[in-house]
Amino acid sequence: MKFTPFGVELAGPAAGRMKFTGHERDEVLGLDYMVARYCGSSLGRFLSVDPLASSARPGSPQSWNRYTYTFNNPIGFIDPDGRAALIVTYPDYMVKTPVGRRRLGHSGVVLIDPDSGLTRYFEYGRYDAEEHGLVQTDTIPDVVMGEDKRPTQESMDNLMQALSKKFGQRGAVEGADFQDADFASMLEYAEGLQATTEAGQGEPYSLTGNNCATFCEDVLEAGGVDTPVTLINSPRNVIEELQEIADTVYRYEPPDEEE
């Protein structure tokens, strides 16, 4: 079954009601039911406004139109039923400070497409030569979605292990999962800030104010999640606060031979 970027079928209608992006199509109305609202493929628009009011942001003009599908960019973005973010913290991560290396922790964010299990990973830190601050991304394992539209435990265990080895200095991983975070909005924000930091712009990195943990909170905020006020913006403190309001909490402890 093949579709145009906005979901119009290219060939003759195929059997079955599951159509564009795996959503059910109303054969009478010709609309795709995307859980939060209906989408008209021939129009390239939703039929009602985005229920997530906070997804409209001053820096993203395409988000001002509350009816658009994927910010009018269906090649660059997807909009499943639109939601899933996993904030991860490596609590034992050793960080360079003015007084030497300290076990302060490190954080990153995993964006998960709830339809396909596709993942995107972003983290922020002093990765540039000037240590001004840089958002970077890397490949991680995708997850397998179960019938309940949640990642299977086996695939999550595999993901957490991979995160530990690749980004967490082979240490423990703490996770906070948010099912109602808007995937497309978070992806646009993270990629936008990545481009900004790669250009040497943006707010300078700060261990206490603008760091990996606050970046993760900002990504969640872009996805419509109200994050708690944290007095000490360290990875450990932020993940503890987020786990208190998360839909699911994940924890990974490496085997002894991996420590």
Condensed to tens digits (0 to 9), the pLDDT of residues 101-121 reads: 999 999 999 999 887 889 999
Is the model more confident about 130 or about 241? 241
* pLDDT value, residue 54: 44
* Contact present, 136 and 212 (Cβ < 8 Å): no
**pLDDT tens figures, 182-237:** 888 899 999 999 999 999 998 999 988 899 999 999 999 999 999 998 889 999 99
Q: Please tell me the least confidently modeled range out of 20-24, 62-66, 167-171, 196-200.
A: 62-66
CA 173 vs CA 4, 99, 157, 169: distances in Å: 40, 25, 11, 10
pLDDT band at 58 (very low <50, low <70, confident <90, very high): very low
Residues contacting 64, CB < 8 A, separation 6+: 56
**Start-end of H helices in the chain:** 153-166, 183-198, 212-222, 235-245
Rounded to the nearest 5°, which phi and psi values hold at 222?
-65, -30
Q: Cβ neighbours of residue 222 under 8 Å, at least 6 residues apart?
A: 55, 57, 182, 185, 186, 188, 189, 190
- Beta-bridge mates of residue 103: 94
Residue 18 has pLDDT above 70, yes or no: no
> Residue 115's pLDDT is what?
78
Q: Where does residue 118 fall: left (phi above 0), alpha (psi -120 to 50 degrees), or beta otherwise?
A: beta
Task: Average the pLDDT over 88-97 and give the result.
Answer: 93
Question: Are the beta carbons of 132 and 204 closer than 8 angstroms?
Answer: yes
Domain boundaries, the chain: 1-78, 83-258
Burial code (b: 16+ CB inside 10 Å, e: under 16) for 56-90 equals: bbeeeeebeeeebbbbeebeebbbbbbbbbbbbbb
Residues, the chain: 259
Note the pLDDT of residue 116: 84
Least confident of 67-71, 81-85, 91-95, 217-221: 67-71
pTM strictly above 0.75: no
Range scoring the smallest mean pLDDT among 5-19, 28-42, 93-107, 173-187: 5-19
Asked whether residue 3 carries a pLDDT value surpassing 70, the answer given is no
